[in-house]
Every structure is written in structure tokens, then in C-alpha cells.
Amino acid sequence: MSNKMKMATKNMTFHYGAFKALDDITLEFRENQVTALIGPSGCGKSTFLRSLNRMNDIIPAARVEGQVLLDGEDVYGPNVDVVEIRKRVGMVFQKPNPFPKTIFNDVAYGLRIKGIKNRGELQARVEASLKAAAIWDEVKDRLNESALSLSGGQQQRLCIARALAIEPEVVLMDEPASALDPIATQKIEELIRELKKSYTIIIVTHNMQQAARISNITAFFYMGRLIEVDKTETIFTKPSLKQTEDYITGRFG
């Protein structure tokens, strides 16, 4: 674990109203690594992911205590612009959610929000993002067609391209392949392995094999607590806690 620390949470606790969804989570994410968050449904891993780029802000009764650090700076600090945080910490959702726009405009959306109007620059960056998301060859001749005309797997890679277009530093992925078929899933996994060369990636997954295949670090969540975190091969071969082992071997969850 020699890479530079990119994001971290320190004693982070999360409440939905009176319900404590996350309890005292301290976790680090290093540059150019893939960290997988695993655990049974309702264990808080998605909530955790969504609090890293403050997507939970839109839930009225949500409350965060402790710290979430991005390059050592508290994401929830009083002078922090949430919009800036979300530009630096991109997100890919569980279900592909392209805008009902053309493929080009979909990817260009975040760039235009950033204030880029120059047509040439937009084109160059849309193309680069689509290439980075390994979908360019499939869509290069149909950039003006509706993004909704793509298949589910293509839509998800488009969403990844859209997230990459604004050049985030960290990419959060919330079960990005759970709505896809095995072939599309494989493509997304190859893509993630490629992307970690340039980004810090944090991925929530239900699929243990997926976590084993693509991640460097795996964190096991259960009932709102972080049970164990270690190198992926250690977690999957000789976890230090019985609870982790039981989950990984499918004895519960």
C-alpha cells in the first residue's frame, strides 16, 4: 500500500433521521487502486459510497458526523462547494442513467456545465472520454442518435464516459454491472482495470468474484460497520475474522 492517499474517512457516522446507517467508519483510499466495498444488502456500503461525493445531501434527514477527506481536506467542511467536490469525485450508478439526449450531448453535458463552449474542444474531449470508456468504436458513427437507443451495457459505458469527461480524480461506482449481462459485465470489468491507471476507483459490488477479480483492496461492511479491510487476496484467502470468512464463503448474507 505504497500509493499516495487520495480519500479517507475518519470516524464517519451517518444517520437517516434517527436511524444510524453507518457507525464509525475509518477507511483510506489510495491513488490508482481499486477498492471494493462488499457486504450484504442494507449493510450501508452504498450509503457510504454516496456520502463520499455528498450525493446524500439531497436526502432531507441525512446527517454526517466525522470526516470525509479528499486530499486531506474535509469534504463536509463549512467552506466547501459541494458542486466542486462532485466534479472531482465522479459517480457511476447502479442502473445506467443516460440523459434523454444525443450520445454526444450526454457526454458533453458535464463539460458544458463546466463552461466549455468551444465546439472543437467539446468534440475532442467527448471523443477522448468515449475512447477511455471503451465505447468509441461502437458509437462513433451515431453520436447524434439518442443515448437511449444503446443497449444496457453500452449505456453504462456511456455513463462512465460521461463521468470521465469532466476529469474527476476519484470515480465512485455503485454496483455498475449489476443490471448487465455477463458479457457487458466483463467489458465493464476490463474497463475498470484500465481506468485505475489514471483514477482512484471505489466500487460497491454484490458480486464477490467481481470484487476478487478487479480490486486491490476489499472492505467488508456489515450492519453499518466496517468489519474488515485488507488486500483483496488476503480477504479472499485468509481473512482474519470469522465473520468475513463466513460471508465470503457464502455461509450467510
220, β-bridge pairs: 38, 228
User: CA of 18: how far to CAs of 57, 61, 88, in Å?
Assistant: 16, 9, 31
**Stretch of 101-109, 123-131, 133-141, 227-235 contacting another protein, by CB under 8 A:** 101-109
Q: CB neighbours of 60 closer than 8 A, spacing ≥ 6?
A: none
Chosen residue from 26, 42, 72, 114 binding another protein by CB under 8 A: 114
90 sits near another protein (criterion: CB under 8 A): yes
Minimum separation from the CB atom of position 135 to another protein (A) = 17
Q: Which of the ranges 2-10, 32-40, 87-95, 225-233 carries the binding residues for another protein, by CB under 8 A?
A: 87-95
Judged by beta carbon, residue 76 or residue 109, the one nearer another protein is 109
- Interface residue with another protein among 2, 79, 83, 183 (CB under 8 A) is 83
Q: Given CA atoms 202, 176, 163, 57 in this order, what sign does their dihedral have?
A: negative
What is the closest distance, in whole angstroms, from the C-beta atom of residue 89 to another protein in the complex?
Answer: 9
Q: State the sign of the Cα–Cα–Cα–Cα dihedral 227, 232, 234, 235.
A: positive
Query: What is the C-alpha radius of gyration for the chain, rounded to an integer number of angstroms?
Result: 18
CB 25 within 8 A of CB 48: yes
Residues 160-199, one symbol each (x = binds another protein by CB under 8 A, - = not), give --xx--x---------------------------------
Contacts by residues 210-217 (CB-CB < 8 Å, ≥ 24 positions apart): 210/36, 210/177, 210/185, 211/36, 211/38, 211/236, 212/236, 213/189, 214/34, 214/36, 214/189, 215/34, 215/35, 215/36, 216/33, 216/34, 216/35, 217/1, 217/29, 217/30, 217/33, 217/34, 217/35, 217/36
Does position 159 interact with another protein (CB under 8 A)? The reply is: yes
Examine residue 61 and tell whether it contacts another protein (CB under 8 A).
Answer: no
Q: Is 123 in the site for another protein (CB under 8 A)?
A: no
Q: Does 44 bind another protein (CB under 8 A)?
A: no
Residue 93 binding another protein, by CB under 8 A? yes
249 near another protein, rule: CB under 8 A: no
Residues in the interface with another protein (CB under 8 A) total 32
Give residues in contact with another protein (CB under 8 A).
53, 55, 58, 60, 83-84, 86-87, 90-91, 93, 95, 97-102, 109-110, 112-114, 145-149, 159, 162-163, 166
